[in-house]
Amino acid sequence: MDIKPYNPLDKMNLGGSVADAMLESAVHPLGGLEPFNGAGIYAIYYTGDFEAYKPLATKNKDGKFEAPIYVGKAVPPGARKGNFGLDSEPGPALYKRLQEHAESVNLVNSLKIEDFFCRFLVVDDIWIPLGESLLIAKFAPIWNKLIDGFGNHDPGKGRYEGARPKWDTLHPGRGWAGKCAARVEPPEQIAEEIKAYFRGNV
């Protein structure tokens, strides 16, 4: 038997420790965050009664918070220019990203901001992408894996010919998404896809 020795400095093990640290952090209401500085990773949890998400919400009620509906990252401004944001001040990058998500929820009628909670971890730039990837692989969150679009920004004038994201088809309300081309799949079909997904992943 070939047993590989555990290397705590292996990048995957280090990335795993970052992901674990995020999962051990405090839970906060998504709609009630106080401003803070830093970049990092986060998980968003749903506890409401939207029918298609009930299997997920059950795992997050009573303070359990076992199954995020979405996992994401917020990188320093320099990272978007290809230099990983090294040596750049992140400012409130993570707080601003979570605020954007809260605003998206507040714009739709089918979801309530009080049903959303989050965990987050401010972390050095180099570990942010790996930490996010490991969390997505671990939990396969529905808004990462199946229902695309929650984290999208307004694509801008001239780009609305693209199909409306599944998220906005199921949860209409964001103004820019209403300008995009309608999807072939109706909301009812997307809801059935969610139920099938949960049968195999929750």
User: What are the tens digits of pLDDT across the range 164-187?
Assistant: 999 999 999 999 998 999 999 999
What pLDDT is attached to residue 56? 95
Non-local (6+) Cβ contacts of 188 within 8 A are: none
Residue 67, CA distances (Å) to 72, 120, 187 in order: 14, 14, 23
What pLDDT is attached to residue 50? 96
pLDDT in tens, 52-73: 999 999 999 999 999 999 999 9
b (16+ CB within 10 A) / e for 51-62: ebbebbbebbee
Q: Give residue 11's pLDDT band: very low, low, confident or very high (50, 70, 90).
A: low
| Nearest in space to 15 (alpha carbons), one of 129, 112, 93 | 129
Taking residue 27's Cβ as centre, other Cβ atoms within 10 Å add up to: 15
Cβ atoms of 23 and 119 closer than 8 Å: yes
Structure tokens belonging to residue 145: 């894996």
Non-local (6+) Cβ contacts of 107 within 8 A are: 173, 174, 175
| Nearest in space to 161 (alpha carbons), one of 181, 182, 184 | 181
Which stretch of 102-106, 127-131, 164-168, 176-180 has the lowest confidence by average pLDDT? 127-131
b (16+ CB within 10 A) / e for 160-192: eeeebbbbbbbbeebebbeebeebeeeeeebbe
What pLDDT is attached to residue 54? 95
Stretch 184-193: mean pLDDT, rounded?
Answer: 94
What pLDDT is attached to residue 71? 96
What pLDDT is attached to residue 55? 94
User: Is the pTM for the entire model greater than 0.85?
Assistant: yes
Q: Give residue 1's pLDDT band: very low, low, confident or very high (50, 70, 90).
A: low
**Degrees, nearest 5: CA angle 13-98-120:** 30
| pLDDT at 88 > cutoff 80 | no
Distance of CA 43 to the CA centre of its chain: 6
Cβ atoms of 111 and 38 closer than 8 Å: no
pLDDT in tens, 12-43: 655 567 888 888 999 999 999 999 999 999 99
Q: Give residue 130's pLDDT band: very low, low, confident or very high (50, 70, 90).
A: confident
